[in-house]
Amino acid sequence: MENDRPDILSILRNCAVFASLDEARLRELSSAARIETFANRALLVANRTIPDVVRYVARGRVDLTLNTEDGRAASLPVGPGRWATWLGCFHPVAIEHEMWSAPDSLYVAFPAALVRRAVENDPQALKVVIRLIGDTTRLLIGWALASTLFTPEKRVAYALLAIGEGLAKSGAAIRITQEQIGQMGLGTRQRVSRILHGLAERGLVEVRYGSVTVPAPDRLAAFIFGSTVDGHAPPHPGLQVAVKPA
């Protein structure tokens, strides 16, 4: 529907990557963009191919899917207001994961080569890009390790933090739906439900109908990775969670 059409110029103006671009360059990017809608799940970018666009998620999500050695698939969701992905755009080599659309999703796709040219001489933009690429890489590597090294209980706990990284400020409560959890390749709904209720008994999550709340992400991170003597969660390769002041 026409009312669903994203305001492409507003998307660009509100993105830190394009903060220094003049109006003419913003309009050039806007004119080159295309709107994509998906009613059903579909493969956007195959493993070992080079993405030719970077997608802004206006509705729904993009799933970054990793295939483990034992044949399991695990997906990290890129939700509304985020981009899939700066890594694929600014590091134009074949990716080691797949990108899938979620049902009822709407994206704004920008040509990757044009985006690179637009900011290639802008040091501030490139600093932002490097940070965003680092975030994506950290989550992908962390999820790959979690999928193979963690116990099922810690894998579910890590998944909650991975989903929540883009949804909440450090230390703030995170609310995650069961539908989001279901896309993470964590097993059957019954199995995940048992694990979630086990985490709830530890006081780490609150399970409600259709959703899960993580009231203190720092405590959940400490459960996954262990704690230092002062009770703070240690650094780790998959996620940075700031500990709330006492």
Alpha helices in 150-216 (DSSP H): 152-164, 178-182, 189-201
Q: What is the pLDDT of residue 130?
A: 94
Answer with the residue of higher pLDDT: 177 or 208. Answer: 208
Which whole number is the average pLDDT over 23-34? 97
Which whole number is the average pLDDT over 182-203? 83
pLDDT tens by residue, 94-150 = 988 899 998 899 999 999 999 999 999 999 999 999 999 988 888 777 777 777 778
Q: What is the DSSP letter of 173?
A: -
What's the pLDDT band for 183 if we cut at 50, 70, 90?
A: low
Tell me the sheet residues that pair with 62.
78, 101
Give φ, ψ of 4 to 5 degrees: -85, -10
Give the type of residue at 152: P
Tell me the sheet residues that pair with 176.
212
**At residue 153, does pLDDT exceed 80?**
yes
Pairwise CA distance, residues 198 & 154, whole Å: 11
Which whole number is the average pLDDT over 26-51? 96
Q: What is the pLDDT of residue 84?
A: 93
> Please, what are the domains in the chain?
2-139 (2.60.120.10), 150-225 (1.10.10.10)
Number of CB atoms found within 10 A of residue 92's CB: 14
Alpha helices in 33-122 (DSSP H): 86-90, 112-119
What's the pLDDT band for 151 if we cut at 50, 70, 90?
A: confident
Q: What is the DSSP letter of 16?
A: G
**At residue 16, does pLDDT exceed 50?**
yes
Answer with the residue of higher pLDDT: 144 or 151. Answer: 151
